[in-house]
Structure 1
Amino acid sequence: MLEVPHFSAADVDAARRRAGRLDAPWIGDAYRRSNRAARRDTLSPYDGTLLNAVELGDAAAVDAAVDAAAAALRGPWGRLDPAGRAALIRNLAQALETLRLELALLETLDVGKPILHAWNDDVPTAVGVLRWYASLVETAYDVAPSRRGGTLIQIAREPRGVIGIVLPWNYPLTTLALKLGPALAAGNTVVCKPAEDTPLTTLRLAELAIEAGLPAGVVNVVPGLGGVAGKAIGLHPGIAAINFTGSTATGRQFLRYSADSNLKEVSLECGGKNPAIILDDADLARSGDEIATGFLMNSGQLCSSISRILAPRSLESPLRALLAEKMAAWPVGDPLDPRTRIGPLVSDAHAAKVTRAIAAAAGDGLTSAAASTGSSPRLVRPVAFFDAATESGLWRDEIFGPVLAVRFYDDLEEALASANDTEYGLSAYVFGEDARRVTSLAERLDAGFVAVNAFCEGDLTTPFGGFKTSGFGGKDKGIHSLDQYARTKSIWWNAVHP
């Protein structure tokens, strides 16, 4: 059950005032402001009001951030033992928890996501992620091979150095925590570039890191354009590794930057066109909310969302009725209204892109009949299309909005082949009761994460990441994520002395 947040107009005004001060690159322990820097307006997606005009970082700002991060590695942060790092990461988690309402409001104002979701999901997840990695600092260890005659073997993990973190706009705070937690746990420092449309919570966290006791330069933030600040991070010889979440096209560009610079390691979490296979024995009454959440969560702006459904023809009528019922139960409108479940898309440009995809889709469309608590040009009502053509953009392209494509099958093997017939391989879902068939499908679906009778990305212990053009090079969450932020060194001793 989602907890309804309680807040006043004064709380919203305070969040807007805070947003107005988050307006420049954060380097070391302060904002680096320049009257000569270009600015970009940060607009609230619902009503288009100006939240701030953020100074855009350039290559010089990235240089300064990398210098600050490198200095922190040589200073107190680099000399901290695991217990000291864990304590500071916990302090940061506590700071986020204390300011849960402010951060939820900032995320809602900046991204357009309903306050109900920001309060229940985004901020608590960020807090939990940081605490999880604080615990790993103290408990994760390497196992060395048994000692052999005349030799002693050590296996050591070392921080890579300065890590570049490049964030998406749909879950800025949560995604930052998923990357920052293991990066700090492994002893690195970071230079973060938030998405151009959503810089607020990334900059606020950098402020809080200093207040929590992290040394200057451990967390640096350079808001800026992808072709300027992002490119400078990608090419910088002082950055040892990059962790990126975003589009597949931009992920490819970071691989080029790596090849053209110092061969820095690149971890990519890119797009998805995620299928859900419904079996003929699926309990739709039990699974209905999971299916709806997979389609509608964050207005469909979620890389792991259910965007394609393959269902047996025998369930066509029940599935249509189920989708109509669930879509009507998700109110659309003002994200600051706690009743709202679907808010505006992040920008005019993205709303126009999703609207064009809907207009181009051919087939039988079921549009949401949900109540609306307001109006905005960036509000897009959910729609489900039936019998989508397998070669259509509706079926193959990542639309990244509340748009669902449904096909009905007569043969389960053909459905599995259709589910796997995509360039992506991020998530997949199976709904059914026959354990043998469910297990067979889960094993054969070509995706990095498979959920059964649920829509989720697992918990903090579960590695999350995709196959094929959905990314590679590392996983978010779980102990495995430490591998992309640490380098492994083997030390071989000749223990026999003459």
Structure 2
Amino acid sequence: MSTTIQLYGGRKIDIKTGLFINNEFRPSANGSVLTTPNPATGENLATISAATAEDVNAAVTAARTAFETTWGKKSTPSQRCSLINKWADLIEANIDSLAELESVDNGKPVWMARDVDIKDSIGCLRYYAGLADKIEGRTIEQEDGIKIAFTRAEPIGVCGQIIPWNYPIQMFMWKVAPALTAGNTVVIKPAEQTPLSALRLAELALEAEFPPGVLNVVNGTGAITGDAISRHMDIDKIAFTGSTVTGRKIMEAASKSNLKKVTLELGGKSPVVVFDSVDIDQTANWVCMAILFNHGQDCCAGSRLFVQETIKDKFFEVLKRKIEEIEIGDPGVETTFMGPLVSRQQQEKVKKYIQHGLEEGAVCLTGGEQTLAHLPEKFKDGFFVPPTVYTNCKKGMKIVDDEIFGPVLAVQTFKTEEEAVQLANDTAYGLGAGVFSQNASQCMRMVHALKAGTVWCNQYMVLSNAVPFGGMKQSGFGRELGIEGLKEYTQTKAVHWNYGEEISWPLNGTNI
């Protein structure tokens, strides 16, 4: 059960196409399959197995057995640390082919997959491996010489994880690394648009010699595979990254099953506020990064820009020039900054929003409905969209209110700091926000005022495996990364220990 994937420069890679359950690749129970295209060309890359509810149940059974017998409380922190580090070493040794595989399945440039996503994922594994022996409880003083109380941080059990298509390898590791470190076992569903790199990661986990059932990969659709994970009575926790609409469905399914613990990292419509004290050239670079990195397919993309009126003309001039200098095209070329979007469906969705912007009266600074005539013939059927900037935007426009998940920037202006805060916070989302100002006091005031789980000051999109990430409002709850991300995969047990006090029975008011 394997297929050969054509990479760049004539290179090829063989990929297992089955479901990875109990350290074996197997077909789905009823033979269901799904296909995945190359976003740059529109051609199909591979056909792989798609899990049914029966397959999910088999994966959960394997994960439960592993949790009770070889992992969970049966493994030591040093054992988990060693295996996770070995896995990281194998990923690093295969980084070039993994990056190309990620690129042909997702559309992002190879250099971005290699130097950002995968290197960060390796760092994520190693960061959490180093925390394996640092999962601690605490003692709580009671009556000296008679009683003691303490807490234990224990693994939750079997964790169902559902990840998105925008960062397939990185989101895989954000979920799996802390879960395994804490002693949990995993059943993970990659996005149906980008299933291939997860299968390769499973092969490398097998090579690293993880015990059977510790990691299980069940590709499939959200409606079947994702729903089966959300509703499964023997899954103890579910972690999801994706849209707010789907997050609500997962919460509902979890609540109607066994009230499993849920963490959600959901959508965003993040504001970037630019004050007139900034270095315009440098700030424009960060604004481009905020909206165009990963083609704007990012939950914390800075898709709403607020520029102080006193610098708007100069700032718009510089921003337009910088965006039009971006190279769009072949993901295999090191100078390419933007490749195609992930799918035909996503391309059509973003193009509709670009059309809405024109219809609703926004002014197109660059991009819009232009065609990318420079693309080579082999990419003519690819899922490319030009980066687009609209000015004269206002609340009520679809491009201002909705999460587009593409390279479309809605720009508004403001006069005062108070107005900037009001405009920035006027959204149902609260994942990220950016502030650009050379006034430190102003930055700190904005940090306090903005309602977002992450606030960047004079930078954007910069993350660290040691720093927690997550949302407020309809951008979800719970945290990934950092110590906080590890705690999401543990549960606290309190212990009261009596070693000196005797009681009389039956109790009454004189012998308590």
Shorter-chain-normalised TM-score: which range? over 0.9
Q: Distance in 1 between matches of 2:66 and 2:28?
A: 23
- Which of 16, 20, 35 in structure 2 is aligned with 1:22? 16
Counterpart in the other structure of 2:196: 200
Deviation at 1:54, TM superposition (A): 1.2
Deviation at 1:278, TM superposition (A): 0.6
What SS does structure 2 have at the residue aligned with 1:67?
Answer: helix
Counterpart in the other structure of 2:493: 489
Aligned length: 486
Q: Which amino acid aligns with 1:471?
A: G
Q: Distance in 2 between matches of 1:34 and 1:393?
A: 40
Q: 1:294 to 1:232 in 2, by over 3 A?
A: same
When structure 1 is superposed on structure 2, of 402-411 and 322-331 the one drifting more is: 322-331
Counterpart in the other structure of 2:447: 442
Counterpart in the other structure of 1:295: 291
Counterpart in the other structure of 1:49: 43
Q: 1:119 to 1:38 in 2, by over 3 A?
A: same
Deviation at 1:360, TM superposition (A): 1.0
Report if aligned partners of 1:340, 1:373 keep a CA contact under 8 Å in 2.
no
Q: Which amino acid aligns with 2:309?
A: R
Q: Which amino acid aligns with 2:107?
A: G
Report if aligned partners of 2:276, 2:437 keep a CA contact under 8 Å in 1.
yes
**What pairs with 1:393-408 in structure 2 (closer than 5 Å)?**
393-408=398-413
Counterpart in the other structure of 1:245: 241
Counterpart in the other structure of 1:127: 122
Report if aligned partners of 1:223, 1:229 keep a CA contact under 8 Å in 2.
yes
**What pairs with 1:425-464 in structure 2 (closer than 5 Å)?**
425-464=430-469
What SS does structure 1 have at the residue aligned with 2:71?
Answer: helix
Deviation at 1:23, TM superposition (A): 1.8
What SS does structure 1 have at the residue aligned with 2:259?
Answer: coil
Q: Which amino acid aligns with 1:365?
A: C
**What pairs with 1:79-98 in structure 2 (closer than 5 Å)?**
79-98=74-93
Q: Which amino acid aligns with 2:63?
A: A
TM-score, normalised to structure 2, is 0.92
Counterpart in the other structure of 2:281: 285
Q: Distance in 1 between matches of 2:334 and 2:374?
A: 13
Report if aligned partners of 1:332, 1:343 keep a CA contact under 8 Å in 2.
yes
Deviation at 1:147, TM superposition (A): 5.1
Q: Is 1:256 matched up with 2:256?
A: no
What SS does structure 2 have at the residue aligned with 1:305?
Answer: coil
TM-align CA RMSD: 1.7
Identity %: 37
Q: Distance in 2 between matches of 1:271 and 1:144?
A: 39
Report if aligned partners of 1:274, 1:428 keep a CA contact under 8 Å in 2.
yes
What SS does structure 1 have at the residue aligned with 2:445?
Answer: helix
Q: 1:372 to 1:284 in 2, by over 3 A?
A: farther
- Which of 217, 220, 223 in structure 2 is aligned with 1:224? 220
Report if aligned partners of 2:8, 2:332 keep a CA contact under 8 Å in 1.
no
Q: Deviations over 1:165-193 (max 9, x none)?
A: 10000001001101111000110000000
Q: Distance in 2 between matches of 1:10 and 1:223?
A: 21
Deviation at 1:456, TM superposition (A): 2.2
Q: Which amino acid aligns with 1:123?
A: I
- Which of 317, 324, 334 in structure 2 is aligned with 1:338? 334
**What pairs with 1:372-411 in structure 2 (closer than 5 Å)?**
372-374=374-376, 375-376=379-380, 377-411=382-416
Q: Deviations over 1:204-263 (max 9, x none)?
A: 111111111211111101111111111100000110000000000000000001111000
Q: Is 1:144 matched up with 2:139?
A: yes
Q: Distance in 2 between matches of 1:248 and 1:12?
A: 39
Deviation at 1:87, TM superposition (A): 0.6
Counterpart in the other structure of 2:94: 99
Q: Distance in 2 between matches of 1:495 and 1:392?
A: 67
Counterpart in the other structure of 1:6: none
**What pairs with 1:132-211 in structure 2 (closer than 5 Å)?**
132-146=127-141, 148-149=143-144, 150-211=146-207
Counterpart in the other structure of 1:72: 66
- Which of 31, 54, 74 in structure 2 is aligned with 1:60? 54
Q: Distance in 2 between matches of 1:143 and 1:449?
A: 29
Deviation at 1:13, TM superposition (A): 4.5
**What pairs with 1:324-335 in structure 2 (closer than 5 Å)?**
324-335=320-331
TM-score, normalised to structure 1, is 0.95
Structure 2 unaligned regions, length at least 5: 1-5, 503-512
Report if aligned partners of 1:186, 1:486 keep a CA contact under 8 Å in 2.
yes
Report if aligned partners of 1:272, 1:424 keep a CA contact under 8 Å in 2.
yes
Structure 1 unaligned regions, length at least 5: 1-8
Report if aligned partners of 2:29, 2:51 keep a CA contact under 8 Å in 1.
no
Report if aligned partners of 2:29, 2:55 keep a CA contact under 8 Å in 1.
no
Q: Distance in 2 between matches of 1:432 and 1:188?
A: 43
Counterpart in the other structure of 1:420: 425
Q: Is 1:366 matched up with 2:365?
A: yes
Q: 1:34 to 1:478 in 2, by over 3 A?
A: closer
Report if aligned partners of 2:270, 2:430 keep a CA contact under 8 Å in 1.
yes
Report if aligned partners of 1:430, 1:450 keep a CA contact under 8 Å in 2.
yes
Report if aligned partners of 1:464, 1:475 keep a CA contact under 8 Å in 2.
yes
Q: Distance in 1 between matches of 2:412 and 2:210?
A: 52
Report if aligned partners of 1:457, 1:464 keep a CA contact under 8 Å in 2.
no
Deviation at 1:34, TM superposition (A): 4.7
What SS does structure 2 have at the residue aligned with 1:459?
Answer: coil
Report if aligned partners of 2:7, 2:100 keep a CA contact under 8 Å in 1.
no
Report if aligned partners of 1:331, 1:371 keep a CA contact under 8 Å in 2.
no
If you compute each CA radius of gyration, which structure gives the higher value, 1 or 2? 2
